Amino acid sequence: MPLYKWDELEDTLMTPSRTLSKGKSVIGKRLILQRVLHHEDRGDGHAGARTHAHPEEQMFIPLKGSMKIRVGDEDKWYDVGEGDVFLVPPNVEHEEICEEDCLWINIKSRIPGHSWYDTNWIPGAEEEWEKAEKILEEMDEKFQEKTPWN
């Protein structure tokens, strides 16, 4: 189905192992698009998501409200608000905290065999993904895209 209407999609938990936030999802063959409301307590008095990492690359785009995001082992928190885009590379630890409700768009790459919902791998899929990822990294180096402004 090529057309999705947010109002017609079901609200579901995003990833119960790290947040109680709910949202709506459109799952494509290679992309996941979600509209998420960070509203629920993540277990420490803040809305957001506890520290985690996943093999998917992820973009955060706040629509209403703002959030603080910490990445890697940095002690720095980034303030991410309406009109901003924040990119987290694959397999990099990160967490989000919202002082107020934050409605945001989540864009992730979709990795076959890995569940974005519960972070589990189908047996054997993680090993196959590691092989595929090496091929993709080689392709990234070999086929560097050139743009007029680079």
pLDDT tens readout for residues 1-25? 699 999 999 999 888 888 889 999 9
pLDDT tens readout for residues 29-67? 999 999 999 988 888 888 999 999 999 999 999 999 999
Q: Residue 85 and residue 63: Cα distance in Å, rounded? A: 10
pLDDT band at 117; cut points 50, 70, 90: confident
Inter-CA distances, 73 with 53, 95, 127, Å: 12, 11, 26
Residue spans of the domains in the chain: they are: 8-142
Alpha helices in the chain (DSSP H): 125-142
Q: Which residues pair with 102 in a beta bridge?
A: 38
Q: Tell me whether strands 77-80 and 67-71 are parallel, antiparallel or unpaired.
A: antiparallel
Superfamily of domain 8-142: Jelly Rolls (2.60.120.10)
pTM above 0.85, yes or no: yes
pLDDT of residue 92: 95
Contact status, residue 101 vs residue 69, Cβ threshold 8 Å: no
